[in-house]
Structure 1
Amino acid sequence: MATVFNGLSFLQQRNSMPRLTGPGPDAAELEEMLQCAMRSPDHLRLRPWRFLSIQGDRRQAFGELLRESLLRRDPEADQGAQDKALNAPLRAPLLITVLASITEHPKVPAWEQRLSAGCAAFSLILAAEALDYGAVWRTGAFAEDQELVRDMGGAGNEEIVGFVYIGTRDCTPKAVPTMVSDNFHRVW
């Protein structure tokens, strides 16, 4: 008898996986994840998201861009901080930079387009986990660097929403704490 997928249990047990290794998704799996991400809420079908996938040797080249970004913010950054920036993309076999591509529109404000891109990032994570990979969404100062967007080939209207790292789990997942919805919800 086939196992029935329990979507609610899957969502309730979702957990970021910060330690990842190879193998990562193949081209067909990446395409499936992108198809899921592109189903995110999208008012007036502006498609306000872009995805830049980085894998293989390109991760080292991206590490160089992160080091340059660090040095723009902190020209006195020590070697340890520079090494951390250089090695950040090597934390997983696949890194997807999610960009919000903001379009001036009278009915769809920029904040709504950013939320749509954020939903796309989360959909990537859910799709990766549905394919039995681990994933983690990272931001930080690099995500606020508009020059980094340009260095990656992004347009002037694009902003980094986050970096989604995807690969095979390399550690035991942390226990997911039980949360009480009453702490976050009330009837109005």
Structure 2
Amino acid sequence: MAIRQKCDKKRTSLLNATLHLVNNNGFHDTPMSKIAKMAEVSPATIYIYFENKQDLINQLYLEVKAAFSKHAFLNFNENLPVKKGFKNIWYQIADFKLTYIEEANFLSQCDNTPMVDEASRLEGLKHLQPLLSLWERGQKEGSIKNVSPYILYAFTIYPLAFLTQTKHKKECKFNKIKLDNAFQIAWDSIKVYNKKE
């Protein structure tokens, strides 16, 4: 019996179809049959690449998270002063969310629902290590408040999802001035006051 070779093109089509359907229908209203139909493969083909729907979602999450972190830390220099390093990362994350809308929406859904399993979520956190290390350095130097990285993320990165959504929905015109204002508020929320930047 010949072993069927996996085709990367089909796997990519399945991931793209899942991304689109989950964003538009939600996790529970995205059956494997719809994914297969949109990817133009037979439903049985999915199981050549993925064990089940959970495995498909987990792998999609990790691939999107890797693309996100690659974009976020593009040309990042860990020797930069804390504020400047954070500013570079923050603007790169904003650019990802404004440019890669479907991927950003999917990651937001993953943050707000239990559709990704815990092991994959923890693996995904590793992609944020340069940011976490930068914050840790800032805390040691006394320039960033000594609070949990979850709180730092909640006040600096998480609001970008809301802001970029308002732009995509055309509820708010998003320009450089508003982006700069958003960054300054994000930085002000975590910096230690009376500390020279």
TM-score range, shorter chain: under 0.3
| Structure holding more strand per residue | 1
Pair member with larger Rg = 2
Structure 1 length-normalised TM: 0.27
Q: Which has the higher contact order (CA 8 A, sep 6+)?
A: 1
Structure with the higher fraction of residues in helix conformation: 2
TM-score, normalised to structure 2's length? 0.26
